[in-house]
Chain A
Amino acid sequence: MIDIVLENWSPIVFIVVLLLNVLVAYWLYSMGNPEYKKTKYSGDPFISGNRSPKDVKKLHVAGDNLFWGFKKALKRYYDPLIDGHTGRLNDYMIWVVITLAVVLIYLYLVV
């Protein structure tokens, strides 16, 4: 049965096509303007027209800030979920007992 699914999938062909695309991209890149001179501010990130800060640490987006929108939009789902992970040893055991109860009730009711 493996042949039906993986017959058309060959990673070697994929990698060869990927390399061909990279070569095409490099050829397009080499057709660029050869007389480009770097000015004083070129290469800096665009922060709505402000100057980039001198301290390098402020340029990089911190870990917690990267998906804040996702977390805020799903606030009603995330608040109970994060509160459920309390870190207390008793709660870990209570979850095991709850799962045990649900699985046993399911096994006895259904069959």
Chain B
Amino acid sequence: MSWDTVFMIMPYLTVVILLSIGLYAVLFKKNLIKIIMGIAIMQNGTNLFLVSLAYRDGYYAPIFTGAESTEMVMPTPHALTLTSIVIGLATTALLLSFTMMIKKHYNSINTEDMRRCKE
């Protein structure tokens, strides 16, 4: 496997690693703050996936007006990523404010203790 191939698949490998770490934190960690951090890591992984979809080797970023050639990387996933970053900000803020209120009511942020709605 040549170095070129390794460099080409490196972003996607990073995406897989980030998503796995984030998913592990959401599934198996009991502290609420760690779960929210896992969600944030998953958001970063998904944004990286979208941006690395758009890349074409040797092309320019689509923000120049007087570029040397008109071959530019695809701009649509960049727009999707910007929207997703803003949405991630809103959801993280809401999740953290819910965590604050749960600490006030239950006096702990462990998912083992917030089980009053059982069955």
Contacts and interface: CB of A to CB of B under 8 A. Distances in A.
A–B direct touch, CB within 8 Å, in complex? yes
Nearest to A85: B119
Contacts of A89: 35, 111, 114
B108 to A, nearest CB: 13
Contact of B119 (A87, A94, A97): A87
Contact of B111 (A82, A85, A88, A97): A88
Nearest to B32: A89
Contacts of B29: 90
A86 interface: yes
A56 interface: no
Contacts of A86: 115, 118
Nearest to B30: A90
B112 interface: yes
A88 B27 CA distance: 11
Contacts of B112: 88
Given A88-B111, A89-B111, A90-B111, A97 B27 contact: yes
A93 interface: yes
A86 B117 CA distance: 9
A82 B115 contact: no
A89 B112 CA distance: 9
Contacts of A88: 111-112, 115
A93 B111 CA distance: 13
Contacts of A82: 119
Interface of B: 23, 26-30, 35, 111-112, 114-119
16 contacts: A85-B118, A85-B119, A87-B116, A87-B119, A88-B112, A89-B35, A89-B111, A89-B114, A90-B26, A90-B27, A90-B30, A90-B111, A93-B26, A93-B27, A94-B27, A97-B23
